[in-house]
Structure 1
């Protein structure tokens, strides 16, 4: 810890604290220092923390929060990550105070979130906790990045189904609510929840109790977003909220949609928007190549 200057506390949980910090002698660049007290953690939570370090170290993509390093000291695990000065997406939504985002802004962020999620899914990893609070903004709010891999799960193959009920209640998929096996399509449902929130500034499924919330999620019924938005955007939400996982699109299919293709050029100026999305593992540049 001596090599870091702690500036302020930015978040706190049951076993962890997150600090805004700066490496001593490292110039003005700031970072987030996540301090996890592993001594007080049950075995499963301790294992999840170690898994987060492993997963973060494997991720290298402009739309995923950058992992710098990790170390252990005095019974604490420290994870050093990129600081996103725009805060998280949920805070941005609250700051709107009822004023709807433009469709241009919504799709721009959504494309970036999808690119980050594609990077994860291509590596046979489920995020399992996609929500507005785990999407971070930087560069004046223009860049969106996926973060918090604390409960992510790696699959042996793309068809393997996970069975652990995890996630945040508002973002749970019908298959998790019904205690059914699930795969990467559960992340797609949660992605739909985030898109809906960007369009309406509220959760798609709300209730006074967890039981009622589960019923509403399993029915897949939600108030339609404002007609202020294009039919293509409103239809996209409907595709993400298909009750049966097999009916939901993959993240690669999402990136092929005309609505998304029109924004991909702004993310990767030198690539032309055509029919297929390929991610080059070395550069992590997204290029669109014709089939």
Structure 2
């Protein structure tokens, strides 16, 4: 273990296996439940920031390592946050709690990543979720070419994504960052689920010229005030079709 590597560390009953993803403010680890053996994904969302560091996830990596080293590579007895209470919370100013709250309001849908529990520490919140070993849609499109010459499979994926986005919209939730990297795959690409609600909002109207999401997938209509998740979906679907 290096000074910033927490592989092998314990977070309550979960042992960290490896880092599988990182974003601007968070890290995602594969972990194993030491009691049941179940493989899970744990998203670590930073509660602290350092303005001098360009990528806050790098700062979080250092904080986690220091925090775990002080406790012999273990964070035992972390407080479990109430999923029900968080799912009912609204108008939350704290970004990391807001993301979790929005995700919980739709995570019962079969095409949204399920959250099992949430653990709280001084430096980060740990969100324990389903683990998808097949990876994201981008990997399955480009590297594995799962959808090459399979129009039926592509159609199934389209229908699932349209259904889950429509469901989120019916709940007043707008993802704002639909792209292949935020869509996980299962059952050899026949099932897809969306995750990462870090940029999600609860209004279809966003301040004019506000940039939210990934630039390559952003709707041209963002020059107006309406949020268009379906444009992002269309670009993601086009990437799948290009492999046929």
Task: Give me the TM-score of the superposition, normalised by structure 1.
Answer: 0.61
Q: Does 1:172 align with 2:218?
A: yes
Q: Does 1:28 align with 2:72?
A: no
Q: How far apart, CA to CA, are the structure 2 residues paired with 1:93 and 1:130? A: 15
Matches within 5 A, 1:1-291: 1-25=11-35, 27-40=36-49, 47-59=94-106, 60-96=108-144, 100-155=148-203, 160-163=204-207, 164-176=210-222, 178=223, 180-183=224-227, 186-201=228-243
* Alignment correspondent of 2:62: none
Task: Give me the TM-score of the superposition, normalised by structure 2.
Answer: 0.72
User: SS in structure 2 opposite 1:126?
Assistant: coil
User: SS in structure 1 opposite 2:44?
Assistant: strand
> Is the Cα–Cα contact under 8 Å of residues 35 and 76 in structure 1 kept in the other structure?
yes
User: SS in structure 2 opposite 1:154?
Assistant: coil
Higher helix share: 1
| 1:67–1:41 CA distance, 2 compared to 1 (3 A) | farther
Q: How far apart, CA to CA, are the structure 2 residues paired with 1:23 and 1:99? A: 32
How many corresponding residue pairs? 191
- The CA deviation at 1:41 is 6.1
* Alignment correspondent of 1:254: none
Gaps of 5+ in 1: 202-227, 229-291
Q: How far apart, CA to CA, are the structure 1 residues paired with 2:128 and 2:146? A: 35
> Is the Cα–Cα contact under 8 Å of residues 18 and 33 in structure 1 kept in the other structure?
yes
| Larger of the two Rg values belongs to structure | 1
Q: How far apart, CA to CA, are the structure 2 residues paired with 1:72 and 1:172? A: 33
Moved over 6 A (4+): none
Gaps of 5+ in 2: 1-10, 57-92
> Is the Cα–Cα contact under 8 Å of residues 146 and 189 in structure 2 kept in the other structure?
no
- The CA deviation at 1:96 is 4.5
Q: How far apart, CA to CA, are the structure 1 residues paired with 2:28 and 2:44? A: 6
- The CA deviation at 1:97 is 5.8
| 1:181–1:28 CA distance, 2 compared to 1 (3 A) | same
User: SS in structure 2 opposite 1:153?
Assistant: coil
